[in-house]
Structure 1
Amino acid sequence: MRKQWPDTLVVVVTEQQPAAIWNAEQLINKKEVFNAPLEQLQAALPILHGPVGTEQDALNMFSNMQQLLQLHDFSVRKVWLTERFAWRLELSDGLLLQLGRDDTLKRLQRFVDLYPTDATT
């Protein structure tokens, strides 16, 4: 909101498109974290957790993980970036994966490559 001379107020409203829930308290879009009432969400959103300042890193990693996993009919429910910057994720079926700090997407690809083989034995 700003005042325009001489006697007008200009109000700019920007609609937010949430991409995920951040630290169970806020929402995150492709650019920033913002506050909104979570109980009014219409769609189920993924849940991202991480230290302050890592919001965009978490969102980018979630996007990369989701793209890789969707090709194999998996879906990401939650992603954590720990204080030690290690990645962990929960799939929609409840399976929890600890991916560590290094070569995260390679480790996830290894899971995708091996899981169907392990599931049939």
Structure 2
Amino acid sequence: MDESASDKSPKVSKYPFLREHAAGISFLLVVLLLIGFFLYTTVSWMWDEQRLPLSKMVIQGDLHHVTTEDVQHSLAKLGHLGTFMSQDVDSLQQAMLTIPWVAHASIRKQWPDTINVFLTEYHAEAIWNGNELLNKQGQIFNGDIGQLQGSRVKLYGPKGTNEQVLELWEQINPEFHQLGLNISSVVLNERGAWQIILGNGVRLELGKDALHERIARFISLYKQLGTKADKVSYVDLRYDTGAAVGWLSDEESKQES
């Protein structure tokens, strides 16, 4: 075979598919680039604090102690709020829970720039150790005692006994109310002994054991005292039977009156 003839034979392309569909592939690449650019600009816009800030706040809930200023101060601790898309709801919720009177917080973002804040306050059932508060479940919280409306029983006890002391007060309080007596304080000391202070100033020493039996003994005694009950200073019930009664002096009795 002539070598020159073989050199003149037509050449076959290695990429016939690319040559035939070059225009379509180019168009597809352009479309993908446009889509990518659109997504990039959209995400950038949604995360731009200047274009999509969280600028409105709606506070809801049956609130008696928490103020708008409390919420604003709590949010200020976050530094600054992000955009509608970037701001984390959990961090907003945790910020709300740092407000002393807040028991529960629910946060919702409303398009395009609003934070909806729903708050539930603690209800103060008692004052604990003079400077803290207890709710109905015996949980300690640090609400401002000066904001309380009306009086609260004062409970005292070692660390970790808050639920125990509250439970005893809840059990015995109705019994004293039936006598027209108000419990001012319930004290559990470090040795595990109990003491009750009534609203009229009478002090009950109950000791460690048989608390309910000793309280029943006091109630029976109080009913027998009649008008003399106004002159009682203290009642010591730390006996198997009976009680020791301390009396106010005539001068102290007059001052009490």
Say yes or no: TM over 0.5: yes
Select the structure that is richer in helix.
2
TM-score (norm 2): 0.43
Higher strand share: 1
The 4+ residue runs of structure 1 with deviation greater than 2 A are 5-11, 118-121
For this pair of structures, how many residues does the alignment match? 119
Local SS of the residue matching 1:27: strand
8 Å contact 1:30–1:56 — kept in the other structure? no
The alpha carbon displacement at 1:33 in A equals 0.5
- Measured in 1, the distance between the counterparts of 2:226 and 2:190 equals 32
TM-score, normalised on structure 1?
A: 0.89
Residues 6-15 or 92-101, more deviating: 6-15
* Identity fraction in percent: 32
In the TM superposition, what whole-angstrom CA distance separates every residue of 1:76-97 from its partner, at most 9, and x where no partner exists? Answer: 0000001011110011100000
Inter-partner Cα distance in structure 1 for 2:200 and 2:87: 58
Q: Which of 100, 107, 111 is residue 214 of structure 2 equivalent to?
A: 107
Residues 1:40 and 1:120: Cα distance change in structure 2 (over 3 Å): closer
Equivalent residue runs for 1:1-121 within 5 Å: 6-9=86-89, 10-11=92-93, 12=105, 13-31=119-137, 32-120=139-227
The alignment's C-alpha RMSD in Å is 2.0
Distance (whole Å) between structure 2 residues aligned to residue 112 and residue 46 of structure 1? 20
Please report how far the alpha carbon of residue 120 of structure 1 lies from its aligned counterpart in structure 2 after TM superposition.
4.5
Higher RCO (Cα < 8 Å, 6 or more apart): 1
Largest Rg, 1 or 2:
2
